[in-house]
Structure 1
């Protein structure tokens, strides 16, 4: 019997930049449905999906079904209803080995919860991949009956992938998953073959990549920069790239008279991001909540010293004074002192950066896929 090539057709539509997958009739191939946000959307999950799909091995056929797209409520509803229709159709008509869902919090849980239920009804193996940096806060605020319902849904998965050991403990203790159901996969990163030679220079470029707002510590960073000695400000530039509360950040920059030192670029593409990473000397992300930020891993891969906070999975990757500096969330003076120390000490910048790059080699996307293939086979076996 000739099998449909629906997986390949759907994938080509959803991600034109990704290589065409092999036909489903290829022997020993795995057919995966990946449910998650649009690849054109801004945010960490979409960025993860792009790199995950780009490096998918030829023996894996992935159909990416878009469950969420930016826009007004009507657009979001239409996109999700189309996703349900496509998902059910494929469950009925196609050979599906595994259903993989990228989940976060709030609306993502509602959408993906419906998809989990459908996959369970059709007796398909389920892999959940949890990215939500504030899921613990979201979950704690839910009524008890919804917590119970979420626990029931999560326990229907064969595996729950989390971004750190601390998140593993949370899901086991709060949602009742068995320890063998939960696996830790750190976010992957593309490690460049070469990095620029950051030679002696009077100018030091600081970089922030992420959604502008309180959660990522963007306003704290602006305030911390304002506390730097004038001499350090004059030899520094802070680039902040990301969407979110850009206007509020711009007003704060003006209020503190830092227009000559801080530039807000808004959201940028991956090409522009890589250019900024090559031109920067220090990466700063003083977040209050995180899963495991891809932007931090990318900066480390480009041999940048990082200044971060001990939230989410970050302490499992960054060790104080070895491959980065760790400051307390919300401690603006401590953040400013850390920035000052790296501006004034080039040897420290270079040594931390070199160690940062070495420490993320195990997180290379190719190794990530080796682990994923092992996971797929363990679920099917």
Structure 2
């Protein structure tokens, strides 16, 4: 398995960890990091180490199959190199794309770069997309056949029990994810490639919370947790006079995340781009109503007014109204939360890994 290092913060790492933790005994997975936390120099060393490990495993015939997780930007180019290496050894590989803004990223690439990507990625044995809409996009963009395509939404761990929220006096909105726009080493070449905006809407959420009527906001609090522009978010909260009602935490570990979701009332993720956000699925597993945007694979999971509320990216009026409704209407919060948990039962990680095992077996056959 080639993908982000297990110390990297984000949804891809969450999926990788679940796969490793819940792998059935028939699978022996060797995870090889291709990217890690730290400087560009360190990441060059990590990637070269991944190349060496892959070549060694393939040359010694120690690997039956290679599973490649990738996203947009530099991840695509790193994994393209690894795909070509795997092809040289005539081993099957599975591609698994998590890119939130892949449509926009791919559209900006020069034709010759697209040709290289197609030449490598079209040779995959299987391609895992997170939703039907993403399947259609990748199938067309990478010239993949229907037999190569597999739709497999991200997995989730269902808590055995969820808290009774009927007596909550304060309605707590929780946001989990990157705060501010996505950065990265490739930002240095923006003049060559116009990278898309990757923004989970944290600052929109803070401004919407501040715009709630004072009497309504007094019944609620806002908790944000993630990496990125944490200090800038704290400054905005202070400038808007929200210090007594809103707080920003740095990235939280899984135990802290579960504690936040257990204590929450509503999950909010007003993203501009998404694949299929792990944080949303985790919140749904904790029986939380969700306020999200109809981007990426989200509309294939969330039906507005049934298991969540959909608002348009950047539309503060819709976001404010959705938050106001869920503050004032316990019955709606409760019904949306129950349906949300039932929705993600099918995505339980144990079922997911059985599906993954069948995919591997069919690929090798």
TM-score (norm 1): 0.90
Q: Deviation of residue 94 (structure 1)?
A: 3.6
Residue among 144, 149, 152 paired with 2:111 = 144
Residue among 42, 55, 62 paired with 2:9 = 42
What is the 5 A alignment of 1:288-327? 288-327=272-311
Q: Secondary structure at the match of 2:319?
A: helix
In the alignment, does 2:120 pair up with 1:153? yes
Residue in structure 1 matched with residue 193 of structure 2 by the alignment: none
Asked if the contact 2:166/2:330 (under 8 Å) is kept, the reply is no
Distance 1:197 1:356 in 2: 15
Q: Deviation of residue 95 (structure 1)?
A: 2.6
Distance 1:175 1:98 in 2: 21
What is the 5 A alignment of 1:60-99? 60-99=27-66
What is the 5 A alignment of 1:1-381? 34-214=1-181, 215-381=199-365
Asked if the contact 2:171/2:327 (under 8 Å) is kept, the reply is yes
Of 133-142 and 340-349, the range deviating more from structure 2: 133-142
Q: Secondary structure at the match of 1:60?
A: coil
Distance 2:168 2:292 in 1: 24
TM-score (norm 2): 0.94
Q: Deviation of residue 201 (structure 1)?
A: 2.7
Using CA pairs below 8 Å that are at least 6 residues apart, which structure has the higher relative contact order? 2
Q: Deviation of residue 138 (structure 1)?
A: 1.0
Asked if the contact 1:309/1:328 (under 8 Å) is kept, the reply is yes
- Unaligned runs of at least 5 residues, structure 1: 1-33
Q: Deviation of residue 115 (structure 1)?
A: 0.5
Distance 1:70 1:134 in 2: 21
What do residues 80-127 of structure 1 show as CA deviations (whole Å, max 9, x unaligned)? 111111111111114311100000011111111111000000000110
Distance 1:222 1:271 in 2: 25
4+ residue segments displaced more than 4 Å: none
Distance 1:148 1:183 in 2: 23
Q: Deviation of residue 47 (structure 1)?
A: 0.9
Q: Secondary structure at the match of 1:342?
A: helix
Aligned residues: 348
Q: Secondary structure at the match of 1:304?
A: coil
Q: Deviation of residue 347 (structure 1)?
A: 0.7
Q: Secondary structure at the match of 2:30?
A: strand
* Root mean square deviation of aligned Cα: 0.9
What do residues 130-161 of structure 1 show as CA deviations (whole Å, max 9, x unaligned)? 00111111111110100111111110101110
Asked if the contact 2:71/2:97 (under 8 Å) is kept, the reply is yes
What do residues 279-312 of structure 1 show as CA deviations (whole Å, max 9, x unaligned)? 0000000000000000000000000000000000
Asked if the contact 1:227/1:333 (under 8 Å) is kept, the reply is no
Distance 1:246 1:356 in 2: 29
- Unaligned runs of at least 5 residues, structure 2: 182-198
Distance 1:83 1:276 in 2: 35
What do residues 40-91 of structure 1 show as CA deviations (whole Å, max 9, x unaligned)? 1111111111111100001100000111111111100011111111111111
Q: Deviation of residue 245 (structure 1)?
A: 1.2
Q: Deviation of residue 235 (structure 1)?
A: 1.4
Distance 2:71 2:282 in 1: 21
Distance 2:107 2:168 in 1: 48
Q: Deviation of residue 176 (structure 1)?
A: 1.2
